Structure 1
Amino acid sequence: MIDAAAIEALKFLGDPPADAVVADLVATGRVGVVNEVLEHFRANDQPIPEQLPDSVREFLVATDDPPAWVDPDRVARAYDFFVDDGVHVASVLTFGAMVNCYAHARASRALTLTHGLNQPHRRLSETSQFVMNMMGRDAFGSGGSFVPTIQKTRLIHAAVRHFLTSSGRWDVAADGVPVCQQDMVGAMLIFSVQVVEGMRRIGISVTEEEAQDYYYVWRAAGAMLGIPVEAMPESVEEARELSAALVEAAYGPSPEGVVLTRHLLDLYEKLFPGKLFDGIVAAMIRQVVNPEVADWMEVPNSKGWARVVRAGTRVVRALERSEDNSALATTILDRAGAILLGGSVRSLTNGQSTTLTIPADLRERWEAEGRSPVPAEADPTPAT
């Protein structure tokens, strides 16, 4: 387990290779040109555009390969887990992970200063796309699209650091660097071990092997994102301990977190017609996150809807126990998650600048098994 001094040091560590690239682009006035070129750089096996500046090309070449320790068999097992339960992962990411991120005052302040308080669709769509690309069949190899996603994410984070530190609105001495490696470790734990915990809270069965493999892929992604590998525990058991010590211990209230959560609630309440079901979203959040976090983020607390959600959780657990033997149970569980993610896709792609693309192999598997979360015509994935 990483010690306290090393964790504190991560607060002042950015991403030196990516930070150097952004500093070069800003100094030479080429940020806009690079953005236009990288917009079309989307596949792992796509040649690096030659018109990019040398600093960008060198960065893309240097960060192109996954860690040598990545085991393809474990990645394949995680892919199978996501094929079976990806819609439920998306549900918990929606109802829990985003709110847990907002419970970090420093991260919420950085989001607010960068994007403003009223763009939950942008953060959610970017995170959803990252997870979708990460969980493709061959995310780190030929045919996938995760490597460019990681590389562009690192450059975006570096741009945020440059913008905030040069704006005079961020106190590095007091708060560390924006989007520091401590924040990155925290986000990795929220989207891996805490998502699995959230799935179990709503009655979804996740085996320890599945939890280990899902965390394993996130650890590999973290290494490619520039997180020091020694800062990420090898086992999911140690990761849970670090999550409690680093992430959950830092949860707390903030004005920015409350407003961001309210906008997220507003976004998802639009998925349900009329006002009758507005309380169900807040109740689902309260089922997935810790009660204290929900209180800090001022998530409405309806005892009636809370009882409905708890009852629904018991039903899901009962269906999970019978899933292997009941086609009806399987259909109910899969459709419940598919409706939510399908609604998310429609909401996030309706007039927004960022669209959610489901990797072709995932879409084909889900369609073949009758559990696609979005109609084919609504998914902008190009034919392959």
Structure 2
Amino acid sequence: MDTAAFEALKFQGDPFADAVIADLVATNRVGVVNEVLEHFRANDQPIPDDLPESVRAFLVATDNPPEWADLDRVARAYDFFVDDGVHVASVLTFGAMVNCYAHARTSRVLTLTHGLDQPHRRLSETSQFVMNMMGRDAFGSGGAFVPTIQKTRLIHAAVRHFLTESGRWDVEADGVPVCQQDMVGGLLIFSVQVVEGMRRIGIAVTEQEASDYYYVWRVTGAMLGIPAESLPESVEDARELSATLVEAAYGPSSEGVALTRHLLTTYERLFPGELFDGIVAAMVRQVVNPEVADWMEVPHSRGWSGVVRAGTRLIRAMERSEDDNALATTILDRAGNLLLGGSVRNLTNGQSTTLDIPADLRERWEAEGRCPAPTAAEPTATPI
């Protein structure tokens, strides 16, 4: 994709979902739809009858993955996530969120819609999305990802509508809020950039695994309404787009700095007392580019930075021997479980949104002693 085509995405929303929200607002039925969709969570559930026709038509039309989707490749990505899901979660929360905040327009949207003091909500919602995406049959019978995608798409449309109508957003100057450029950027942050972050902390990810993981995100992107031509087919081209256009848009902003500060505070709570102060900032600096960390004013911690670098070398060594070394396997998995398990407890923070690990993933992780948290209560859908 060239620069001109990428810039044009700033002014593109999602016409199908946007029309649904416009209809609901015009007929004052947003609240009714929220109540119905709150209980619509599984792929196998029939689409509720008591919905406005515009919503039913949307749910019917967006119920299946694109025709080109290869579910065998999706299944391979599931196997990758069974082995390394806790590490994906670690990098997603340490690095991907900060990379999102490095995009000034994204940070401004988050600030205007959620405020600066709700990192637990953003982290919980993002983690749940990824968990549902990486279930065994995410797009088919027994999965729970299709309603997640559909509701996410409507939520994005609602943000576009209400933020534009609020008078606090200048479309001519800043583009459409939650535009297609933001969608492409976010998808690449959560796919190829997460894999890059895993490799930076010493987790071995093969090119086949990286390609399959990106492929699941590409299928997901199509279902989220991203135009097919906007997402590269290969992981190599996706990395190039990420490096040349997505990361080129990163920069400092007061909103991004504030969001990062609240994120670090949230994760510091995972480590009791003062002994581990600075370890979260050191982990962030290991996962993201140094320039991004500086823009987001991530503190330097000389002592913990050395520990993290040494730990990265140790993880690389253990990864090479993991298949033959039970101790190495245990250390790697426990490290990931500590973070994800703590996240589950901390991110709920009294909120209704909880992290619900799909049953198939939970069974696999429990069988291997990897499951990081007890079964969560049924999650409440984020309202439109």
Query: Where do 1:63-78 residues align within 5 Å?
Result: 63-78=62-77
State the match for 2:183 in structure 1. Answer: 184
CA distances 1:321-379 after superposition (whole Å, capped 9, x unpaired): 11011011111101110111000001112411211110010001000111111134xx2
Query: Where do 1:61-210 residues align within 5 Å?
Result: 61-210=60-209
State the match for 1:380 in structure 2. Answer: 377
Contact 1:14/1:181 (<8 A) preserved: yes
Aligned partners of 2:185, 2:2: CA distance in 1, in Å? 15
Deviation larger for 347-356 or 318-327: 347-356
- Structure 1 residue ranges, 4+ long, deviating more than 2 angstroms after superposition: 379-382
Secondary structure of the 1:170 match is: coil
Q: Shift of the alpha carbon at 1:44?
A: 0.6
Secondary structure of the 2:252 match is: coil
Amino acid at match of 1:358: I
Contact 2:281/2:300 (<8 A) preserved: yes
Contact 2:11/2:175 (<8 A) preserved: yes
State the match for 2:351 in structure 1. Answer: 352
Aligned partners of 1:156, 1:54: CA distance in 2, in Å? 18
Secondary structure of the 2:356 match is: coil
Amino acid at match of 1:207: T
Amino acid at match of 1:50: D
- % same residue: 84
Q: Shift of the alpha carbon at 1:380?
A: 2.6
Aligned partners of 1:196, 1:66: CA distance in 2, in Å? 24
Q: Shift of the alpha carbon at 1:247?
A: 1.2
RMSD of equivalent CA atoms: 0.9
Aligned partners of 2:300, 2:348: CA distance in 1, in Å? 30
Query: Is 1:294 the counterpart of 2:300 in the alignment?
Result: no
Contact 1:359/1:381 (<8 A) preserved: no
Amino acid at match of 2:364: R
Question: TM-score when scaled to structure 2?
Answer: 0.98
Contact 2:164/2:171 (<8 A) preserved: yes
Aligned partners of 1:21, 1:112: CA distance in 2, in Å? 25
Q: Shift of the alpha carbon at 1:275?
A: 1.8
Amino acid at match of 1:380: A
CA distances 1:94-129 after superposition (whole Å, capped 9, x unpaired): 100000000000000010011111111111111100
Aligned partners of 2:283, 2:163: CA distance in 1, in Å? 34
Secondary structure of the 1:11 match is: helix
Contact 2:354/2:378 (<8 A) preserved: no
Question: TM-score when scaled to structure 1?
Answer: 0.98
Query: Where do 1:250-265 residues align within 5 Å?
Result: 250-265=249-264
Aligned partners of 1:15, 1:343: CA distance in 2, in Å? 36
Aligned partners of 1:101, 1:212: CA distance in 2, in Å? 22
Query: Is 1:60 the counterpart of 2:59 in the alignment?
Result: yes
Query: Is 1:325 the counterpart of 2:319 in the alignment?
Result: no
Aligned partners of 1:349, 1:101: CA distance in 2, in Å? 21
State the match for 2:282 in structure 1. Answer: 283
Aligned partners of 2:158, 2:244: CA distance in 1, in Å? 29
Aligned partners of 2:197, 2:308: CA distance in 1, in Å? 13
Amino acid at match of 2:246: V
CA distances 1:216-246 after superposition (whole Å, capped 9, x unpaired): 0000000000000111000000000000112
Q: Shift of the alpha carbon at 1:8?
A: 1.3
- Report how many residues are paired: 379
Amino acid at match of 2:291: E
Aligned partners of 2:35, 2:293: CA distance in 1, in Å? 40
Query: Is 1:228 the counterpart of 2:227 in the alignment?
Result: yes
Aligned partners of 1:18, 1:49: CA distance in 2, in Å? 18
Contact 2:3/2:245 (<8 A) preserved: no
Amino acid at match of 1:322: S
Query: Is 1:26 the counterpart of 2:25 in the alignment?
Result: yes
Aligned partners of 2:127, 2:105: CA distance in 1, in Å? 22
Aligned partners of 1:225, 1:64: CA distance in 2, in Å? 11
Amino acid at match of 1:345: V
State the match for 2:337 in structure 1. Answer: 338
Which runs of no fewer than 5 residues in structure 2 stay unpaired? 380-384
Aligned partners of 1:249, 1:350: CA distance in 2, in Å? 35
Aligned partners of 2:47, 2:2: CA distance in 1, in Å? 39
Amino acid at match of 1:55: S
Amino acid at match of 1:273: P
1:335–1:381 Cα change, 3 Å: farther
Which runs of no fewer than 5 residues in structure 1 stay unpaired? none
CA distances 1:49-72 after superposition (whole Å, capped 9, x unpaired): 100100000000011010111111
CA distances 1:247-296 after superposition (whole Å, capped 9, x unpaired): 11011000000000000001000111012212000000000000000000
CA distances 1:76-110 after superposition (whole Å, capped 9, x unpaired): 10000000000000000010000000000000001
Aligned partners of 1:133, 1:308: CA distance in 2, in Å? 34
CA distances 1:13-32 after superposition (whole Å, capped 9, x unpaired): 00101000000000111001
CA distances 1:152-182 after superposition (whole Å, capped 9, x unpaired): 0000000000111001110100110000000
Aligned partners of 1:193, 1:278: CA distance in 2, in Å? 29
